Amino acid sequence: MSRHLSGFHIVAVLILGLLILTGCDNKEQEESPAVTQTHEGILDIQIIETQSGIKAWLVEDHSVPLISMHFAFRGAGAALDPMGKQGLTQLASNTFDEGAGDYDAETFQKTLTDNSISLRFVSQRDYFGGTLKTLTRKKDLGFHLLNQALLHPRFDAAPLERMRNANIARLKHALSDPDWIAARFINDIAYEGHPYAMNSGGTLETLKNITAADLHKFAQTRLSRDNLMIGIVGDLNESEAKDLIDSTFGDLPETSDLPKTAKLALQNKGTTTLHEMDIPQSVLRMVLPAPAKDDPHYFSAQVMNYILGGGGFGSRLMEEIREKRGLTYGIYSYLFHMNKIDTLVLSTSTKTESTAEMLSVIRQEIKHFKDNGPTEKELDDAKSYIVGSMPLGLTSTDKISSLLLSLQIQGLPVDYLDQAATGIGQVTTEDVTNAARTWLNEDDFITMIVGNPDQETLQIDTVREDIPNAD
C-alpha cells in the first residue's frame, strides 16, 4: 500500500466527532478584516491574513524547534472526480510529491528524508489537502518543496505507474475484505445517484484511465487561494508564518470555478441488502440519518451516540451484545459527517448462524434506549469522557495543527474548544432521550450484510452479487 493512503487527522476527527459545537456559522472568521485576531483560551489561536489575502489559524509554540502545518482545499475532493476517472484525487495525493520542478521523484524524496522533512498529501471526498512537518532550521526548504509540489508537480511516467499499480494492488486486496465490501455497498446504496456513491479510491478500470494530463489539469483547476484552509503550529511568529504561507501558496490562482456538489438525503431507508460471501461470520453495516452540525440539539446526539455504541466497552450495545450474549467481539456506532450529508453508522460482525439474532438484539436495545433513556450514571460518564478527551488533541504540534484545520473544515469558531465543555455539560437525560427518539428510527435503518446467513431467518429486500464501482 502506498505510504499516502491513510487519512491525516485521525485524532482531531475523533475529538470533533465527540465534541462538535452546535449553531456556529463562523461569521466572525469569514468577515474578519485583514488584521490579526487573537483568541486566548485553551489554545492561543491567532487568525492571520497574509499580503496575498490568505487566511490561516496560527498557534505559536517555541518550546521545541518544530513547525507543523495542515492545509486543505475545500470542495476540491474526490466528489469531483469525473465518470471514468474515479480515483483521480486519490492518485493525485500519491503523486504530488513524486517529483516537482527540478526535482525528479528520487531526488525529491531523498531531499525530504535527508532533511527530516515530512510532506504528505491526502484525498477526501470533500477536499484535497496535506501536511508538512519540518525542523525550524529547515523550514525554508520544507515550504519550498511544498510550493514546488503544488505549483510544479511533474507526474513523470515511472512514479505515476508505480503509484497506479500500488492503488490497483490495494483495490484487488480490498475485493476480498468483507468489511471493505460492506462499506462499498453501503455507500452505493445510501448515497445512490450522488457523487458520494462513487468509489473515491478508484476502480480497477478507471485507475488505468488516469493520465499525467488528467493530473496536471487537477493541479491547475482545483487548487486556489479562495478555497484554501490552513492550520499552522510551532516555532514561528506571526510575521514568519505570513511570509512562509505567501511564499508557498501565494502564486496559486486567486479563485477557482469548481462545480458545487448537491445536497443529499439518505437513500433507500428501511432496506436490507445481502451480498453472499463464503465466510464464517456475517459483517453488518447499518446507517441512519443523523443531525447536522448546526442542529440545536447536536450535543445531545453526541452524548446519545457515546452511550449507545460510541463508548467502547462502556456502551450499551457492547455490554448487551458482547458481554451478556457473546454474539460479537465488538460493536460500535459513530456519527459521520460530510459536507452534504450527516449519518450515524453502526458496525459489527457475528457468527453466520447468529446474524438474525444480532439484528434483533440491536433493534431491541435501541427500542429500550428510546423508551427509557439513559441513566444518570451513563450520562455523567459520557460527559466526563467527552470533555476529558479534549486534551488528546493538544499534545503535539501535529495534533494541534490537525485540530485547527479540522475546526475550519467543520465550520466551527476559533473559540470552539472553550465553548465545548459548557455545551456538553448542559446535556440532560431528557435531552438524550429526546435525541434517541428523534434519530434512532428502526424503520430508517439501511442494513448491509456480507456473508452467508440463512436467508429464511432474515427479511432481505435485495441480494446483490457484483460489488459496485470496484471492477
Domains of the chain: 10-249 (3.30.830.10), 272-390+418-463 (3.30.830.10)
pLDDT in tens, 161-203: 999 999 999 999 999 999 999 999 999 999 999 999 999 999 9
Question: Which grid coordinates are listed for 135?
Answer: 525542523
Cα 27 from chain centroid (whole Å) = 24
Q: Which pLDDT score is estimated for 36?
A: 59
Nearest C-alpha neighbor of 135 from the set 152, 105, 155, 115: 115
At residue 166, φ and ψ (nearest 5 deg) are -65, -40
For the cut 70, the answer to whether the pLDDT of residue 35 exceeds it is no
Q: Which residue type, as a one-letter code, is found at position 191? A: Y
The set of long-range contacts for 103-108, using a CB threshold of 8 Å and a minimum separation of 24, is: 103/145, 103/148, 104/154, 104/156, 105/154, 105/156, 105/158, 105/159, 108/145, 108/149
Cα 20–Cα 200–Cα 409 angle in degrees, nearest 5: 25
Q: Which helix or strand (DSSP H or E) is residue 333 part of? A: strand 331-338
Cβ-contact 254, 226 below 8 angstroms: yes
Give CA separation, 137 vs 96, 116, 365, in Å. Answer: 24, 11, 57
Q: Strand 331-338 to strand 127-135: parallel, antiparallel, or no bridges (unpaired)? A: unpaired
For the cut 60, the answer to whether the pLDDT of residue 360 exceeds it is yes
Q: Which pLDDT score is estimated for 8?
A: 31
DSSP-assigned beta bridge partners for residue 463: 274
Cα distance between residue 469 and residue 471, in whole Å: 6
Cβ-contact 393, 403 below 8 angstroms: yes
Q: Which pLDDT score is estimated for 192?
A: 96
Cα distance between residue 278 and residue 327, in whole Å: 19
pLDDT in tens, 305-333: 999 999 989 899 999 999 999 999 999 99
Helix, strand, coil percentages for the chain (3-state, nearest 5): 45, 20, 35
Q: Which helix or strand (DSSP H or E) is residue 34 part of? A: none
Question: Which grid coordinates are listed for 219?
Answer: 493541479
Cβ-contact 284, 357 below 8 angstroms: no
- Helical pair 88-95 and 157-174, crossing angle rounded to 10 deg: 130
**How big is the chain by its Cα radius of gyration, in Å?**
23
Cα 94–Cα 227–Cα 235 angle in degrees, nearest 5: 75
Is the backbone of residue 256 left (phi > 0), alpha (psi -120 to 50) or beta?
beta
Q: Model pTM greater than 0.75?
A: yes
pLDDT confidence tier of residue 471, bands split at 50, 70 and 90: confident
Cα distance between residue 223 and residue 121, in whole Å: 13
Name residues whose C-beta falls within 8 Å of residue 251's C-beta, 6 or more positions apart in sequence: 147, 151
pLDDT in tens, 115-150: 999 999 999 999 999 999 999 999 999 999 999 999
Q: What is the DSSP string of 73-134?
A: EET-SGGGPPTT-TTHHHHHHHHTTS-BTTB-HHHHHHHHHHTT-EEEEEE-SSEEEEEEEE
pLDDT in tens, 385-434: 988 887 777 889 999 999 999 999 988 888 877 777 788 999 999 999 99
Cα distance between residue 457 and residue 461, in whole Å: 13
